[in-house]
C-alpha cells in the first residue's frame, strides 16, 4: 500500500512538472544536468556492471543510487558521429555527419541550444569533437589539451565552482579517458596485469594484459574526477536537484569492439541519477542515445521540436518496468577504413547487415596499432587462433548476421543460416529496410574508401588452421584523405525528421 501511495505521488509530480515550467521559483527550481561522456568504454567496463577487477568506486555508487539502463544503445561506434547523434537527437546519416571527422552543417539544432535560450548556463569541458555548428549552444567551451589535461577532466570542478549561481546549468563533461594512446597518470599501475583475465576473443598473454591494465587505469582516472564533481555538488547543496548521466560514445578501443555494431561496440553503460525525484532501480527497456535529448528538454519543461528523431523516456523514470522501444538502430560508416553496416535490435534478436563484407573487421587504426592486436596477429600468422579470436581476420565476412540476445551475450553464434529463425530474420530485415527508407539512409556508389592500405584474410566460416593465409592488414602511414559521398546525402537526409519504426 505504501509503495502504491509513493508511486502515485511521484506520478502526480511528474505529470505536473511541465505546468508553468518556464518559471524558475525557489519552490520549484528547474533541474540542473550533467552528462559525463567517456571516450571508448564498453558497457561492461564498469565495476557495477560486472567487471570485478576494475576500480570504479564513485561510478559504482552512482549506479547503485540511480536508474540503470541495461539496454541503452548508441547509434554508431565511432566518436564524432556518436556525439553528434546524442547532442542533436538524430541518427548519424540525418545529422549530415555519419563518418568520423565529419561535421553537421551550420544551423543543425542541438538540445543544448534550446537550454541556453531558456536561461541555462551551458558548458562543454573536455573533448569536443562535434563541429562548429554546436559551439553556439555553449556559454563556455574548455577543449585545449593544456587546459583540460591529458584525461580531459581538469576543469570540471572549477567549472562547477565558477558557474553563475542564479541560473540552472547543463554541463557536457567529456573525458579523453580511455582513448588510446595510454599515458602516465596518477593512477598508472593501479591494476596489476597479472591479475587480469582477458576476454576470450583476445590473447591471454602479458602484452594484452598490460594493454588492458593501462585501459583500466584510465577508467579509474575518469572515476576519480567524477567523484570530485559529485563531492562539489553535495558541498553546494545542489546534488539532489542535478540530473546526472554517465555514458560512453562507443566501445572499448580493442579488437572485436570499437567500430563494431555488436554490444561491445554500440551498447553503452548508462545511469540516470535524479535524487530529488527518487529515480532508482534498473530497466531492461530498449533505449537509443537519440532519446536523451528529448528527455532532457521535457524534464527542463521545454518544447521538443520536430527535428528530434528520438522520444523522451521520462515514463521509464516513473516506472522502469514499462516497455519503451520495440527496436533500436545503429550504423557503421567510414572510420579509417571503408564501411557500410546497419543494425537493428529487438527485445530478443540482433540483426546486422554488412554491405562491405569483402573486408575483414579488424577495427580502426588505433586498435590495429595496439599491443592486443599485435598478439592476435602473431597467433594469426602461427595459425593458432580460436574461432572467436579469428573473426576479425575473416574475409569475406557474412553479409548478414543474426544473434539471439538472451543466450548469446557477446554475439558469438551467427544464426543467419538457421531455418528455425527464418521468420525472425525476415521481420528484422523488413524493419531495417523500413527504417532506411523513412529516415533517408542510402548506400553511396562513390563511398569513402580506405585511407590506409589493407589486404584481405581467409574466407568466412573457414578455420584459420585449414585456410590459406593471404596475410594480415598491411598499414602505411600515408594519409589519403579523399572523402566520398556521405550516406543519406543523396536523399537529403538532413532535412528528414521521421524517426522510423519505434
For 75-108, give the DSSP string.
S-SSHHHHHHHHHHTS-HHHHT--STT--PPTT-
Residue 466: count other Cβ atoms within 10 Å of its Cβ. Answer: 8
pLDDT tops 90 at residue 386 = yes
Confidence of residue 29 (pLDDT cuts 50, 70, 90): confident
| pLDDT per residue as tens digits for the range 302-330 | 999 999 999 999 999 999 999 999 999 99
Confidence of residue 173 (pLDDT cuts 50, 70, 90): very high
Confidence of residue 479 (pLDDT cuts 50, 70, 90): low
Per the model's pLDDT, the better-predicted residue between 458 and 281 turns out to be: 281
Cβ proximity of 371 and 354 under 8 Å? no
pLDDT tops 90 at residue 456 = no
Rounded Cα distance between 88 and 110, Å, is 4
Rounded Cα distance between 374 and 366, Å, is 12
| pLDDT per residue as tens digits for the range 245-254 | 999 999 999 9
Instruction: Residue 122: name the closest of 135, 147, 140, 134 by CA.
Output: 140
Instruction: Residue 156: name the closest of 226, 218, 244, 217 by CA.
Output: 226
Rounded Cα distance between 5 and 454, Å, is 63
Interval 65-92 mean pLDDT = 98
Per the model's pLDDT, the better-predicted residue between 473 and 220 turns out to be: 220
Instruction: Residue 170: name the closest of 141, 150, 132, 144 by CA.
Output: 141
Average pLDDT of every residue of the chain: 90
pLDDT value of residue 28 = 55
pLDDT value of residue 477 = 44
| pLDDT per residue as tens digits for the range 116-136 | 999 999 999 999 999 999 999
pLDDT tops 50 at residue 457 = no
Q: How is the chain split into domains, by residue range?
A: 30-325, 330-495
Confidence of residue 285 (pLDDT cuts 50, 70, 90): very high
Rounded Cα distance between 75 and 284, Å, is 18
Rounded Cα distance between 480 and 448, Å, is 10
pLDDT tops 60 at residue 204 = yes
Interval 263-290 mean pLDDT = 97
pLDDT value of residue 185 = 87
Confidence of residue 26 (pLDDT cuts 50, 70, 90): very low
Interval 359-387 mean pLDDT = 94
Looking at domain 30-325, its CATH class is alpha beta
Which pTM was predicted?
0.91
Residues with Cβ within 8 Å of 201's Cβ and at least 6 positions away in sequence, in order, are 255, 256, 388, 389, 391, 410
pLDDT value of residue 480 = 60
Cβ proximity of 436 and 357 under 8 Å? no
Query: Lowest mean pLDDT: which of 105-114, 131-140, 470-479?
Result: 470-479
Rounded Cα distance between 96 and 75, Å, is 14
pLDDT tops 50 at residue 44 = yes
Interval 179-186 mean pLDDT = 90
Cβ proximity of 274 and 66 under 8 Å? yes
pLDDT tops 70 at residue 56 = yes
pLDDT tops 90 at residue 143 = yes
pLDDT tops 60 at residue 471 = no
Instruction: Residue 94: name the closest of 113, 112, 115, 76 by CA.
Output: 76
Portion of the chain with pLDDT greater than 90, in percent: 87
Amino acid at each position: 500500500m505504501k509503495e502504491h501511495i509513493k508511486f502515485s505521488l511521484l506520478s502526480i509530480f511528474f505529470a505536473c512538472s511541465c505546468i508553468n515550467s518556464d518559471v524558475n521559483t525557489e519552490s520549484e527550481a528547474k533541474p540542473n544536468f550533467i552528462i559525463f561522456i567517456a571516450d571508448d568504454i564498453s558497457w561492461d567496463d564498469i565495476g557495477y556492471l560486472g567487471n570485478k577487477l576494475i576500480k570504479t568506486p564513485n561510478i559504482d555508487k552512482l549506479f547503485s543510487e540511480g536508474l540503470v539502463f541495461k539496454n541503452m544503445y548508441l547509434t554508431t561506434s565511432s566518436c564524432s558521429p556518436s556525439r553528434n547523434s546524442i547532442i542533436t537527437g538524430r541518427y548519424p546519416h540525418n545529422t549530415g555527419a555519419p563518418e568520423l571527422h565529419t561535421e553537421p552543417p551550420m544551423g543543425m539544432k542541438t538540445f543544448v541550444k534550446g537550454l541556453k535560450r531558456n536561461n541555462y548556463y551551458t558548458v562543454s569541458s573536455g573533448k569536443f569533437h562535434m563541429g562548429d555548428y554546436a559551439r553556439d549552444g555553449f556559454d563556455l567551451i574548455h577543449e585545449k589539451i593544456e587546459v583540460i589535461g591529458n584525461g580531459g577532466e581538469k576543469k570540471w570542478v572549477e567549472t562547477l565552482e565558477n558557474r553563475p549561481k542564479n541560473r540552472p546549468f547543463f554541463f557536457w563533461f567529456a573525458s579523453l579517458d580511455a582513448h588510446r594512446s595510454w599515458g602516465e597518470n596518477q593512477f598508472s599501475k593501479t591494476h596489476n596485469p597479472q591479475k587480469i583475465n582477458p576476454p576470450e576473443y583476445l590473447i591471454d598473454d602479458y602484452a594484452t594484459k598490460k594493454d588492458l591494465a593501462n585501459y583500466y587505469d584510465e577508467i579509474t582516472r575518469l572515476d576519480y574526477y567524477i567523484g570530485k564533481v559529485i563531492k562539489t555538488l553535495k558541498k553546494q547543496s545542489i546534488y539532489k536537484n542535478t540530473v546526472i548521466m554517465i555514458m560512453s560514445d562507443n566501445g572499448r578501443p580493442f579488437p572485436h569492439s570499437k567500430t563494431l555494431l555488436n554490444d561491445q561496440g554500440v551498447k553503452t553503460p548508462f545511469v540516470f541519477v535524479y535524487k530529488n525525484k527518487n529515480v532508482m532501480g534498473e530497466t531492461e527497456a530498449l533505449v537509443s542515445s537519440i532519446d536523451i535529448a528529448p528527455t532532457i528538454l521535457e524534464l527542463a519543461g521545454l518544447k521538443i521540436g520536430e527535428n528530434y528523431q528520438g522520444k523522451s523516456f521520462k515514463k521509464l523514470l516513473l516506472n522502469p518496468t514499462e516497455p519503451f522501444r520495440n527496436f533500436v538502430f545503429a550504423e557503421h560508416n567510414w572510420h579509417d577504413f571503408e564501411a557500410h553496416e546497419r543494425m537493428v535490435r529487438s527485445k530478443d534478436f540482433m540483426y546486422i547487415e554488412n554491405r562491405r563484407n569483402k573486408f575483414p573487421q579488424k577495427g580502426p587504426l588505433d586498435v590495429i596499432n595496439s599491443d592486443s592486436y599485435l598478439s592476435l596477429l602473431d597467433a594469426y600468422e602461427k595459425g593458432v587462433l580460436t574461432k572467436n579470436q579469428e573473426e576479425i581476420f575473416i574475409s569475406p565476412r557474412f553479409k548478414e548476421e543474426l544473434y539471439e540476445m538472451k543466450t548469446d551475450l557477446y554475439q558469438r553464434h551467427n544464426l543467419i543460416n538457421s531455418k528455425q529463425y527464418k521468420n525472425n530474420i525476415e521481420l528484422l530485415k523488413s524493419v531495417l529496410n523500413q527504417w532506411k527508407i523513412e529516415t533517408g539512409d542510402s548506400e553511396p556508389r562513390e563511398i569513402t574508401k580506405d585511407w590506409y592500405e589493407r589486404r584481405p584474410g581467409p574466407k568466412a566460416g573457414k578455420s584459420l588452421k585449414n585456410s590459406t593465409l593471404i596475410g594480415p592488414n598491411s598499414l602505411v602511414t600515408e594519409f589519403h584523405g579523399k572523402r566520398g559521398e556521405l550516406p543519406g546525402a543523396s536523399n537529403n537526409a538532413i532535412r528528414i525528421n521521421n524517426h522510423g519504426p519505434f
